[in-house]
Amino acid sequence: MIDWSARTGKQWKEPKKQFRPGMQSARKTYEARQADRVAMAAMKAREKEMKEEKTTKKKVSRHHPHHHRAYADSSQEQIQALKERREKAEEKARYEKLAARMHQKKIDRMKRREKRNKALKER
């Protein structure tokens, strides 16, 4: 006798196993999960430390006596300000384009309405 419960009806396909989402063998133990969390937290802390180190290095580099760029910090600020200005300009252009398109849609609607009214008047 053939068990049809997990069969697709296609001979070339493997019969499927029962799906068990809460299977104990697949689940990690509480201790293992805790260990993973601790390792992840340590890694995140290290990353944060490295990022802070990098930014302080950039800020301190201008105070270095043999450093060629005396205005490293201010140039970073200028670069940031320039980026923000460009983003604002892009946003403004996008809104203007959108407003023009909306205005055009409104004009089109009014033209259609006028056509409709004209057609009704001519009857």
71 part of a folded domain: no
Instruction: Looking at the structure, tell me whether residues 91 and 123 fall in a common domain.
Output: yes
20 part of a folded domain: no
Instruction: Looking at the structure, tell me whether residues 91 and 122 fall in a common domain.
Output: yes
pTM for this predicted structure: 0.33
Structure tokens at 22: 């809460």
Query: Over the stretch 9-63, which tens digit does the pLDDT of each residue have?
Result: 788 888 877 777 776 666 788 899 899 999 999 999 999 999 999 888 877 765 5
Nearest 5°: the CA angle 3, 9, 14 is 75
Residue 108's domain comprises 84-123
49 part of a folded domain: yes
Tell me what pLDDT residue 7 has.
Answer: 65
d(CA 10, CA 89): 60
22 part of a folded domain: no
94 part of a folded domain: yes
Number of folded domains in the chain?
2
38 part of a folded domain: yes
Instruction: Looking at the structure, tell me whether residues 89 and 122 fall in a common domain.
Output: yes
3 part of a folded domain: no
- Report which DSSP code applies to 7: -
19 part of a folded domain: no
pLDDT at 4 over 70: no
Structure tokens at 79: 């670069």
